[in-house]
């Protein structure tokens, strides 16, 4: 998946920036030190929720000509775009011109454009605005408080900064959510039925996450990702059973650590990493896995909740060119 981002970049690179990690994005475009650096927030939440690549271009969001030129450059430079996001750019004229460019371009027909309504727009105004947009463009709503790696406090972001992984089906729900506004069912249904991508709160385990409310009036929590690779392999039953057993063992080990370390700090992160490593060392010694990677630090902790950090675990299996990733909190 490739997400195109058009917004102001502090380093104002003259070229289109293609990256496959958030650290590379920051190295080229600028560190995420401000809550209004919406391009970085969008890139961060995209890459930590299943989108492989981001392609960004600098633009002055207050200038129609600057945004239009940036979108044209973006489309010319990246023909594999799955979505374009203009986080925080709610001017109707800019949005209409961008949609016209996308409609005339040679970009993929299934590319979507994610937009934001005016911050104080009413439900009726958002519905009316959505009706004026082409089918491939969708407004996203509402603004959500998030926890972004590298930021010490929560940021209230436009929904377009978060929606791409859900709309594209890369993730069933989003990590990195701090708090959600209360949304009435009537409001969510009215917006979803008009085509607006409505993000709603959902509790998964001990985490507060965000899911996409579909036009059918239900949460879309098992959206199938697009698969282009021809060599996708399905686990045999015994491998699936091993995964389930390993996951349960890791969950138990991490739960013991959480109970022994009530404060969410570096001591807890280190204890969780050591606990998971001990479990995986045993699996490796038995030949069940070839290699593993465990990480629990300030960045992965911010993917969870203030009291439940995430442990990132990547496994490599024997006789398979394949990895699997668990994120536990």
Beta strand 219-220 pairing with 144-146: unpaired
Structure tokens at 326: 């668990």
Beta strand 112-115 pairing with 83-85: parallel
Q: How far apart are CA 99 and CA 86, in angstroms?
A: 11
Res. 39 pLDDT band, cuts 50 70 90? very high
Residue carrying structure tokens 């008009």: 194
Q: How far apart are CA 324 and CA 313, in angstroms?
A: 8
pLDDT at residue 299 in the model: 74
Q: How far apart are CA 184 and CA 205, in angstroms?
A: 23
Structure tokens at 246: 């390993």
Q: How far apart are CA 8 and CA 15, in angstroms?
A: 13
Structure tokens at 138: 């969708």
Res. 95 pLDDT band, cuts 50 70 90? very high
- For residue 128, which of 113, 139, 112 has the smallest C-alpha distance? 139
Q: What is the DSSP string of 238-251?
A: HHHHHHHHHHHHHH
Residue carrying structure tokens 């490796």: 284
- The answer on pLDDT for 302 being more than 70 is no
CB 4 within 8 A of CB 78: yes
Q: What is the pLDDT of residues 18-32, one digit of tens each?
A: 998 888 999 999 988
The pTM of this model reads 0.67
Q: What is the pLDDT of residues 96-134, one digit of tens each?
A: 999 999 888 654 567 899 999 999 999 999 999 999 999
Tally of CB atoms within 10 A around 208: 19
């Amino acid at each position: 998946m490739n997400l195109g981002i058009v917004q102001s970049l502090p380093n104002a690179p003259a070229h289109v920036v293609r990256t496959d990690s958030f650290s590379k994005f920051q190295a080229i475009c600028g560190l995420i030190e401000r809550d209004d650096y919406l391009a970085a927030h969008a890139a961060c939440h995209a890459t930590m929720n299943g989108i492989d690549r981001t392609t960004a271009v600098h633009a002055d969001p207050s200038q129609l000509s600057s945004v239009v030129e940036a979108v044209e450059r973006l489309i010319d430079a990246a023909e594999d775009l799955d979505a374009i996001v203009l986080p925080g750019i709610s001017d109707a004229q800019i949005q209409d011109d961008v949609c016209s460019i996308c409609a005339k371009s040679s970009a993929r027909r299934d590319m979507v454009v994610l937009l934001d309504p005016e911050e104080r727009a009413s439900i009726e105004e958002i519905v009316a605005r959505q009706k004026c947009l082409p089918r491939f463009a969708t407004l996203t709503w509402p603004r959500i408080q998030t926890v972004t790696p590298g930021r010490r406090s929560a940021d209230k972001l436009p929904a377009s900064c978060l929606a791409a992984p859900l709309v594209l089906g890369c993730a069933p729900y989003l990590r990195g959510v701090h708090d959600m506004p209360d949304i009435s069912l009537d409001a969510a249904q009215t917006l979803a039925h008009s085509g607006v991508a409505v993000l709603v709160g959902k509790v998964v385990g001990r985490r507060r996450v965000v899911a996409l409310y579909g036009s059918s009036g239900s949460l879309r929590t098992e959206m199938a990702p697009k698969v282009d690779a021809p060599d996708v392999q399905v686990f045999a039953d015994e491998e699936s059973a091993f995964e389930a057993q390993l996951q349960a063992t890791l969950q138990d080990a991490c739960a013991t650590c959480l109970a022994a370390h009530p404060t969410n700090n570096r001591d807890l992160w280190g204890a969780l990493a050591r606990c998971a490593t001990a479990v995986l060392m045993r699996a490796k010694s038995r030949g069940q896995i070839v290699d593993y990677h465990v990480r629990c630090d300030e960045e992965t902790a911010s993917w969870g909740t203030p009291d439940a950090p995430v442990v990132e675990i990547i496994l490599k299996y024997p006789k398979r060119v394949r990895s699997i990733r668990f994120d536990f909190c």
